């Protein structure tokens, strides 16, 4: 007699052993000692008796289990072992996931780019914002130039042409890494050459007049912000490094006795040696009681333990409050 929803619901476990409730066409319900209930299909293939799992009740209902049974029987009619077919499909999905664009991109990033896990890493942010939501889970071999262009058009529509070009360059690096590791045939990004409008050069604000520079320095000296922000602003004109490198300065790289700051630039993996003047050392000594217990010289105000560096917005906002725009 075929199973019914009522029969399945009311089936109670035995005290001594599991038992089966038969349905039709080889399907049955297995009731275990702990009361769990499993749909199973018994079939023969290649002269051997086999069992195929069809789901766990109540997550899988009787109707769903029968549909899975019928699909398995169709495979048997075509000379295909449904159990082995399921393994092949699962293996294929796992392989596709391992070769997805996002998996390969993150692997490339962790190997090629220092501080890849830093939330301020530009390459990572561009991929996470512009590529991963649409192409991250797709096998890299299935991605077409048009797929990437569609993502870049979204960036272009935001009015950030330069970001679109940079995102395309990063995609190219990921594809070349996939080729080098045997997971792609070729880099498809050159096929998109000429598909984006040219990026227009942008002039950054710069103070070049000595009197104007003096006014800026006096304004910095009078700034009433947080101690790390004040010290970072004061230190900037004494070391002439990029803002991102200044914000990410780590105590382990600074030798106050030798008056040197040694660090590696992530893009080139080349060590930079920055001499520290007496004034620079004095500023670092001033901020050391505040942040010397942590990793970063200028920590984020949101992480008192000092495990994150100050954000770029902190210094930009400070300059704006002093009356100095970041761009002209």
d(CA 66, CA 40): 10
What are the tokens at 219?
Answer: 């304004």
Own/partner long-range contacts of 151-156 (Cβ < 8 Å, ≥24 apart): 152/192, 152/195, 152/196, 154/130, 155/130, 156/196, 156/197
Q: Does 131 score more than 90 pLDDT?
A: yes
Residues in contact with 127: Cβ distance below 8 Å, sequence separation at least 6, in sequence order:
102, 105, 109, 167, 170, 171, 174
Residue 328 has pLDDT above 50, yes or no: no
Q: How many CB atoms lie within 10 A of CB 292?
A: 12
Residue 212 to residue 201: CA distance in whole angstroms = 25
pLDDT digits (tens, 9 = 90+) for 170-229: 999 999 999 999 999 999 999 999 999 987 655 555 666 777 767 777 877 777 778 888
Helix (H/G/I), strand (E/B), else coil: 53: strand
Distance CA 103, CA 136 (A): 8
Whether the pLDDT of residue 130 is over 90: the answer is: yes
Per-residue pLDDT at 24: 93
Q: Enter the CATH code of domain 5-95.
A: 3.30.160.390
Higher pLDDT, 277 or 92: 277
The 10s digit of each residue's pLDDT in 56-105 is 999 999 999 999 999 999 989 888 888 888 887 777 677 667 789 999 99
Q: Assess contact for 57 and 39: CB atoms under 8 A.
A: yes
pLDDT of residue 123: 85
Residue range(s) occupied by CATH 1.10.443.10 in the chain: 210-321
Q: Give SS3 for 41.
A: strand
Q: How confident is the model at residue 327 (pLDDT cuts 50, 70, 90)?
A: very low
The chain-wide mean pLDDT, for the chain, equals 86
Pinpoint the residues of the chain covered by CATH 1.10.150.130: 101-192
Whole-angstrom distance, CA of residue 148 vs CA of residue 175: 12
Every domain of the chain with CATH number 3.30.160.390 lies at 5-95
H or E element in which residue 254 lies: strand 254-255
> Does the predicted TM-score (pTM) go above 0.85?
no
Please tell me the CATH code under which domain 210-321 is placed: 1.10.443.10
Task: Tell me which H or E stretch contains 20.
Answer: strand 19-22
ω into 58 cis (within 30 of 0):
yes
| pLDDT score at 30 | 95
Report pLDDT for 312: 77
Beta bridge partners of 255: 260
Angle subtended at Cα 280 by Cα 313 and Cα 240, rounded to the nearest 5 degrees: 55
- The structure tokens listed for 49 are 């008796």
Mind listing the pLDDT tens digit for each residue in 14-64? 888 999 999 999 999 999 999 999 999 999 998 899 999 999 999 999 999
d(CA 307, CA 103): 26
Least trusted range by pLDDT, from 55-59, 114-118, 298-302: 114-118
**How high is the pLDDT of residue 320?**
80
pLDDT at 217: 78
**Who has greater pLDDT, 312 or 263?**
263
The correct CATH number of 101-192 out of 1.10.630.10, 3.40.50.1820, 3.40.50.11540, 1.10.150.130 is 1.10.150.130
% of the chain at pLDDT higher than 90: 52
* The pLDDT value given to residue 274: 93
């Amino acid at each position: 007699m075929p199973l019914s929803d009522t029969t399945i619901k009311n089936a109670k476990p035995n005290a001594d052993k599991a038992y089966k409730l038969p349905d039709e066409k080889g399907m049955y319900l297995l009731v275990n000692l702990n009361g769990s209930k499993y749909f199973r299909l018994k079939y023969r293939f290649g002269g051997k008796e086999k069992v195929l799992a069809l789901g766990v009740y109540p997550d899988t209902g009787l109707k769903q289990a029968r549909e899975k049974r019928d699909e398995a029987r169709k495979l048997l009619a075509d000379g295909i072992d449904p159990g082995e077919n399921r393994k092949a499909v699962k293996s294929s999905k796992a392989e596709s996931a391992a070769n997805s664009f996002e998996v390969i991109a993150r692997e490339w990033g962790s190997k090629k780019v220092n501080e890849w896990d830093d939330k301020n890493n530009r390459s990572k942010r561009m991929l996470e914002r512009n590529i991963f939501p649409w192409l991250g889970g797709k096998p890299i071999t299935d991605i077409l130039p048009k797929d990437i262009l569609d993502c870049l058009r979204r960036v272009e529509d935001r009015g950030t042409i330069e970001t679109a070009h940079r995102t395309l360059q990063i995609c190219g690096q990921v594809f070349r890494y996939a080729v080098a590791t045997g997971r792609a045939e070729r880099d498809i990004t050159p096929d998109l050459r000429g598909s984006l409008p040219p990026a227009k050069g942008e002039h950054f604000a710069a103070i070049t007049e000595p009197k104007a520079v003096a006014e800026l320095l006096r304004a910095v000296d009078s700034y009433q912000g947080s101690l790390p922000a004040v010290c970072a602003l004061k230190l900037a004109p004494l070391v002439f490094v990029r803002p991102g490198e200044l914000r990410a300065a780590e105590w382990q790289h600074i030798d106050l006795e030798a008056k040197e700051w040694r660090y590696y630039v992530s893009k080139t993996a080349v060590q930079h040696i920055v001499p520290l003047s007496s004034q620079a050392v004095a500023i670092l000594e001033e901020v050391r009681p505040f942040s010397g217990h942590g990793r970063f010289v200028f920590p984020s105000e949101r992480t008192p333990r000092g495990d994150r560096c100050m954000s770029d917005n902190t210094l930009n906002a400070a300059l704006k409050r002093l009356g100095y725009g970041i761009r002209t």
